[in-house]
Amino acid sequence: MITEPRTLPGFMELLPNEQILFEQMKQKIEKVYQKFGFLPLDTPVLELSEVLLAKAGGETEKQIYRFEKGDTDIAMRFDLTVPLAKYVAKNYGNLSFPFRRYQIGKVYRGERAQKGRFREFYQCDIDVIGDGELSIVNDAEIPSVIYQLMKELGFDDFTIRINNRKILNGLFESINQKENATDILRIIDKIDKIGADATEEELQKLGLEQKAINQIMSFISINGTTNEKLEKLQKLNIENDSFKIGLEELIEVVKYIRIFGVPDTNFKVDLTIARGLDYYTGTVYETFLNDYRELGSVCSGGRYENLAEYYTDKKLPGVGISIGLTRLFYKLNELNLIKANKYSMADVLIIPMTQEMEKPIELASQLRSLGISTEVYLNDKKLKAKMKYADKLKIPYVIVIGEDEITSGTVKVKNMETGEEKQSKLIAEEIIDKLK
């Protein structure tokens, strides 16, 4: 009996040529993380529900894949932050702080399936965790990682938007709206989507007086260069400790971001950014492709007071970012925006035209030992079918080895893109020269 070979909706499964692009993106991100010395981490996809859901609630909990196996109540991870918190609390005594880790792995959310939304997706995270304290300079290094990352992915016109939650919280305290802070944050976080008028309206609905609304609106409409914005914030003279500390932090972060070599064209202070509602406590980041704002933030994160309060009494402040790679890849691929170094796995396909395999295989081994991915076409087909195979796989170079080539000790290297063919001696070095 034949079962129809289906894949679950909301689960990405790519054809080989797309998978190659995906792997390259993943690897570029990983390489940047590694260059900054972040340590690799791999945690289980499955955790005890009791542990994984120690903090979760509301929307998140509904989306969890959760089940029982024997007597064990198990859940699939829905992000890489909770497993990190568990890991750091569990291994506290064996880790060196600041603990800088990257993790690239699949996470699971049983969301309503729709185009461009995934139930299984890769997150690519970095976090720096301090033991008790963590210098503000770390908050400035993170944007420099984002900057390198975006460059590596082939983007130039992007903006890292930076804010500090303490400034927002201080502002709300100063206008006696502390208890409404979460709601106000949620509203102003949407200003880019809904516009200023709708924002005011929503603030009214929340029951704010016009005076408070005016102060919020004039605050979030502060504009100008980064330095001008910082000056205007100082001139607001808001007498609130949280506001003052937040502003000091933001000034420090901006100062160090520049030292880290991120140009002013690629970052800016954006006072409307708040990110997660109760998680972040200081610096927050979002990153936008300026020509494709509709993609939303492609890389976001921020500073938090306490990573693992649900697992330990130790105070573990941290700062980090996350990239939702699966969705990002899907969108960039749809828009044809992925810049790849190569579109095939093999650099060279060697096509033997006789039963004599020694020369083709020997040449393949030579090429591989020189770092060139090489495939030998081992099956009995007509030349045309073999060439079509190379073409479909987008292999850039083909070397045909027939009677003539074996007798004369030469090979023909064909550039599949230009169609150009060159005869040369059967020496790998020469072929490599051609491949360059």
User: Which residues, numbered 38-57, are part of the site for its own copies (CB under 8 A)?
Assistant: 38-48, 50-51, 54
* Alpha helices, H only, 100-190: 137-152, 165-174, 181-188
Round to whole Å and give the CA distance between 280 and 276.
6
**Footprint on residues 361-420 left by its own copies (CB under 8 A):** 361-362, 365, 368, 371, 373-376, 378-380, 388-389, 392-393, 395
Closest CA to 319 of 91, 132, 128, 117: 128
Q: Which is nearer to its own copies, 56 or 167 (CB)?
A: 56
Distances, alpha carbon 220 to alpha carbons 138, 254, 282, 321, 377, in Å:
26, 18, 17, 24, 63
Closest CA to 375 of 415, 338, 346: 346
Strands 99-108 and 39-40: parallel
Q: Which is nearer to its own copies, 130 or 276 (CB)?
A: 130
Round to whole Å and give the CA distance between 143 and 254.
10
**Footprint on residues 235-294 left by its own copies (CB under 8 A):** 256, 259-261
Q: Quick check: 310 binds its own copies (CB under 8 A)? A: yes
Least Cβ distance, residue 392 to its own copies (angstroms): 4
Contact 273, 284 (CB under 8 A): yes
Q: Which of 80, 85, 230, 332 binds its own copies (CB under 8 A)?
A: 85
Q: Quick check: 77 binds its own copies (CB under 8 A)? A: no
Q: Which of 80, 126, 129, 138 binds its own copies (CB under 8 A)?
A: 138
Q: Which of 180, 312, 410, 415 binds its own copies (CB under 8 A)?
A: 312
CB atoms within 10 A of CB 365: 13
Task: Please count the residues of this chain forming the interface with its own copies, following the rule CB under 8 A.
Answer: 100
Spell 352-362 as b/e; 16+ CB within 10 A means b: bbeeeeebbee
Contact 109, 310 (CB under 8 A): no
Q: What's the N-to-C CA distance of the chain in angstroms?
A: 51
Q: Which of 308, 387, 398, 426 binds its own copies (CB under 8 A)?
A: 308
Contact 426, 400 (CB under 8 A): no
Q: Which of 217, 251, 340, 345 binds its own copies (CB under 8 A)?
A: 345
Q: Quick check: 150 binds its own copies (CB under 8 A)? A: no
Q: Which is nearer to its own copies, 197 or 313 (CB)?
A: 313
Least Cβ distance, residue 347 to its own copies (angstroms): 8
**Footprint on residues 181-240 left by its own copies (CB under 8 A):** none
Least Cβ distance, residue 14 to its own copies (angstroms): 7
Least Cβ distance, residue 206 to its own copies (angstroms): 32
Of 157-165, 293-301, 353-361, 418-426, the segment contacting its own copies by CB under 8 A is 353-361
